[in-house]
Amino acid sequence: MHIADTVVPGAYVVTPEPHTDERGDFFEGLRTDHLEAATGHPFVPRQINYSTSRRNTLRGIHGVAIPPGQAKYVTCVRGALRDIVVDLRVGSPTFGAYATHELDAASGRAVYVPEGVGHGFLTLTDDTCICYVLSSVYVPGTQIDINPLDAELALPWGFTEPPLMSRKDATAPGVREAAAAGLLASWEEAVRDTHSPVSRKALP
């Protein structure tokens, strides 16, 4: 698999290398050893979530407070979606920067979202299913929601008609309001190494 940096420090896009024959194809969706070589710290799955959505559904921007913090490994297992990660780490040199990728079941492309970085997506087909592999379990009251239509972020969702959104997302604060309320993690909190480091090495 190929792991590439994005404009958001610590966020990566992962593209698998499929092996195809007359039966179909096979690819490795997640290799924690490769991911750890790229990020420099362990990624230990603690919970796996799925959500299914109709076309033109907008979910996000979502994150988790630190503590407990939560990294995500996101893939599309059915359908297609436009995925966006946003740097929400106050004091980050790229605060407010975003990276966008199209994920679909056929390519197996994935996005790694580090702690302190927000995530959202717009579905491009009906019955789109997304999978989240999470580094921490759900803890009530620690979720962070940022309005995905915040004019200050100006995220390029690309929809041509009003998207379907939850009331929670539609009424969530903008990034400036969330920062002023102390809801967002600092750059120092987010990048502090709370795990045993692993050596960075070239991927095979």
d(CA 92, CA 164): 31
Residue 90 located in a structural domain: yes
Q: Report the CATH number at residue 75.
A: 2.60.120.10
Number of domains in the chain: 1
Place of tokens 């480091």: 197
Confidence class for position 196, pLDDT limits 50, 70, 90: very low
**pLDDT tens digits, 91-145:** 999 999 999 999 999 999 999 999 999 999 999 999 999 999 999 999 999 999 9
Contact present, 103 and 76 (Cβ < 8 Å):
yes
Catalytic positions, written as ranges? 62, 132
Residue 196 located in a structural domain: no
Residue 199 confidence (pLDDT)? 34
Residue 199 located in a structural domain: no
Domain that holds residue 155: 2-190
**pLDDT tens digits, 142-181:** 999 999 999 999 999 999 999 999 999 999 999 999 999 9
pTM of the model: 0.92
Residue 192 confidence (pLDDT)? 82
Residue 204 located in a structural domain: no
